[in-house]
Chain A
Amino acid sequence: MKYSRLPGLLAAVFFALTLSACAGKPPPCQGPQTRSLDGAVSVVQRSLNNGCAAHFERLYDDLLTIAEGDPKPENKRIFSEFLVWSADQGLLSQRQARDYYNRYFNVKFMALQGDYNNCSHTCPRRDRVMRNMERELSDKERGLLKISLDNAGYYRADELYQEVELVLEATCTACTAGP
């Protein structure tokens, strides 16, 4: 009877010790808390090196949000260097790094990547291509306009979107009409 409570007691002590050990650490793969982009990049780099690679997309989005709070042209460079670092660390392939950068910070649309001609490949899925471009334009608004203050770049992207829409409509009509 005297010793019958011992296992429960030991379990309670073990649980309390575990909790106290965890109390000093942040939850795993938590996003950066700082408002400085440079500081946030360092935090994210440490997280990624400490087993959080699977959370890359969320952490990248956290960095974008922080950059929106302090928009300036050199933010482009900071993101570029961060993505080059990520590729060098093997966290991303070169292609993924390019996609992450260009989707937000370049005028060109990654949604228009493709190795086949427009009549055979783009026209049959024109609606989907345009929807993807529209979503990407919204990311460019964030990257070019809200983060980098690159107004000219964003307005060129917007204009390009409209031009592609017009030219694809004409080209696809011509493709359909012809042999």
Chain B
Amino acid sequence: MGTELLLFYLFGAIAVAASLLVVLQRNPMHSVLLLIVSFCALAGLYIGLEAPFAAVVQIIIYTGAIMVLFLFVVMLLNAHREDEVDVGARPVRGPLRAGAVLAVVLMAELVWALVRAGGPRDGALSEGAGADAAALQSVRTLGNVLFTDYSLAFEATSILIIVAMVGAVVLAKRES
């Protein structure tokens, strides 16, 4: 129990610190790398939540593919640091700052509401969790559910991926 809580705080602190740096930090390349650190910390949290398959999928897909895509685009476009003045831009400072403040307010409200609500009320809920924990871990159960109960969503996702691939190629093509 003690080590689990400790690991939760460790990974949670890494995830929050890395995400904050992603948002506040000037160099886009460093932002991408910090986001990778945040994803790996989240993968650690998923392992603590008895979802090892989700953790590995997070690393393979998010850090192994999506972030490589971001990295390629950052390198290709040679994204400059943000404090260089852009001639064509008309900065809108006021609404931006207000928006950021509202985001912090949202965060504070959510945290306050969750702290007040406490955990799940039912004791029966955690018993159900304990009995199914071994089944939760099984990739077999996951595959079963994916292909029977959620098969429509699964097939729709494959169409989505093809559409996204074709769309990305068409959008990024050079007009010659």
A, B co-complexed = no
* Chain B interface (Cβ < 8 Å from any Cβ of A): none
Q: What residues make up the interface of A, taking CB atoms closer than 8 Å to B?
A: none
